[in-house]
Amino acid sequence: MSGSVVLLNLAGAVALLLFATRMVRTGVERAYGDVLRHRLRSVLRNPILAVGAGALLAICLQSATAVSILVGSFTGAGIVGATPGLLSVLGADLGSSLVVKLLSFDLSLLVPVCLLAGTSMFMATERREWRQLGHILVGVGLLLLSLRMIGQASEPLRESEILPVVINYLSGDPITAFLLAAVMTWLFHSSVAAILLVCALAARGLVPIPLGLVLILGANLGGGVIAVMLSRGSVPRARIVPLGNLIMRTAGAVIGLAVLVLLQPPLGWLGAGPVDQLVHFHIAFNVALVIAGAPFAHWVSRLAESLTRTGEARQAGTLAGAEVSALDEAALAMPTIALANATREVVRVCGTVELMLMRVIELYEHADQVKIDELAALDDRVDRKHAAIKLYLAKLTANPLTEAETLRCQELLGASIRLEQVGDIIVRNLLAHVQKKLDRGLTFTDEGWRELVAFHHAVLINARLAFNVVVSRDAMTARQLVQEKDRLRTLEKQSSQSHFDRLREGTAKSLETSSIHLDTIRDLKQINSLLAAMAYPVLEEAGLLTGSRLRAV
């Protein structure tokens, strides 16, 4: 087998590993994301529980990076402090190392079981919960399959004449190997995938244990870089936790590298086989980082906060309040380019509305006047963008347009109008409910709050589908969006019935929050209807829209 074919097979196996890891994570986020976020928020205030919660969430999501971004957003919103947030991310890194240990076992029998069970669940029902569970099981099956493929693809490398040269060079230059592993992990966007790849190569005798330990440390450093890069566009406070985690991981990895190179400690205690030694070293490193880093978490979070403020102050003079518009007046004479500009601007409004929709549910649980005012300011931005888009499209229609260009212009205008209406509902209705709840000091029942969170999550998922339809104009996505509208109608009826059952039972909290609960469900349903309407032009063009929902008589 030629070297290019071997590398192609290995690259394909690694690609499947990355895809499967992402598949499991997105499935868990869609099915249980809101429940996990709610539970995480409730325990992050306790530093000890924060470590355990972070580890558990990382095991569920199979990604410490996702936990770092999530906790960073909580810190940015003021829900939790930077120190417990940093401790939870250290716990998430430990949980991620336990995932590697679990996947290092021989689980080949689970491949057909997970694929069969997951596909059956996904194909046999339209219920979101079961379909997402099937999505997760298929992801787990593909993940285990990819590990087997990596082992098979790397087997011919034993006979390679070039690989020993590369391995010998990296073994003699641990700093280069360390940095190479960090860069590889950043490119993979998954420390789990990078470490599993190193273990698979070590199991075939392609990577010696001393070099593998150096690569493991580099992968730990690269894992911290991923979250920092992904959060660089967030508000400054949301970047504190990922940056603090990177500071601690860098210090720990550098110290670990110095110990390996200078002291060359015995490795027998880590295990008998190469995979056990690498995996146990990875776990031991993260355990040591939690134990040694916990006393310094407060100081590291303050350092990270200082660094983010410094970066913010450096940009304040040129970027404060700046808003870039894609609506280039010079392009109006070229309808294709002008419509692309208008699409870009509508997508920006989509992003702002999505942010408003995400933040408003957090205010139901932890509200203060400053955050309410900040959310209201986002609606002012939506109104300005909407007015600008409307004027730009009006000027565009003054030029000769094809029928397709005219329809696209009307579609973008309709989307902009609906987005502006959604922003108004969030500010005028939902924020009013938040203010009422805050002023009266009311709290929901646990069951009522779970229903609101689940309903809000469904609307948020549909909002993202609607925003995708605006860009892609994909008929199948548009069809799915309208189908979800019908499912949400059923979910509303179930939530209302459960609420009235609690009222009949005389639950005090239900009586106090009844109007807020029902009005919130109604407003979220109205938002969902507006967003689902963005799919109608695409469905009509594809011939998938009937003339009326009324039954013929």
CA atoms of 236 and 292, how far apart (whole Å):
26
Tell me what the mean pLDDT of segment 250-275 comes to: 86
- For residue range 21-60, list pLDDT tens digits in order: 778 777 776 766 666 666 666 666 667 788 888 888 788 7
CATH 1.20.58.220 residue ranges in the chain?
329-541
Tell me what the mean pLDDT of segment 438-463 comes to: 82
- For residue range 131-146, list pLDDT tens digits in order: 888 888 888 888 888 8
The reported pLDDT for the residue numbered 158 is: 63
The reported pLDDT for the residue numbered 550 is: 43
pLDDT at 319 over 50: no
Looking at every residue in the chain, the average pLDDT score rounds to 81
Residues with Cβ within 8 Å of residue 429, at least 6 apart in sequence: 519, 523
Tell me what the mean pLDDT of segment 488-496 comes to: 78
Dihedral of alpha carbons 333, 334, 336, 339, sign: negative
Q: At what angle do helices 82-103 and 128-154 cross, to 10 degrees?
A: 60
313-to-55, 143, 306, 320 alpha-carbon distances in Å: 34, 44, 10, 10
Confidence of residue 235 (pLDDT cuts 50, 70, 90): low
- For residue range 201-210, list pLDDT tens digits in order: 888 888 888 8
pLDDT at 374 over 70: yes
Any idea which fold 329-541 has?
Answer: Methane Monooxygenase Hydroxylase; Chain G, domain 1 (1.20.58)
The reported pLDDT for the residue numbered 320 is: 42
Tokens standing for residue 531? 């967003």
The reported pLDDT for the residue numbered 188 is: 76
The reported pLDDT for the residue numbered 312 is: 53
The reported pLDDT for the residue numbered 217 is: 93
The reported pLDDT for the residue numbered 372 is: 80
pLDDT at 447 over 60: yes
The reported pLDDT for the residue numbered 316 is: 45
pLDDT at 358 over 70: yes
Tell me what the mean pLDDT of segment 375-396 comes to: 88
- For residue range 133-185, list pLDDT tens digits in order: 888 888 888 888 887 787 677 667 666 677 778 888 888 889 999 999 999 88
Render 99-148 in DSSP notation, one character per residue: HHHHHTS--TTHHHHHHHHHHHHHHH---HHHHHHHHHHHHHHHHHHHHH
Task: Give me the percent of the chain exceeding a pLDDT of 90.
Answer: 12
Residues with Cβ within 8 Å of residue 207, at least 6 apart in sequence: 167, 198, 201, 215, 274
Q: According to the per-residue pLDDT averaged within each range, which of 12-21, 394-403, 411-420, 537-546 is highest?
A: 411-420
Residue 383, Ramachandran bin (φ over 0: left; ψ between -120 and 50: alpha; else beta):
alpha
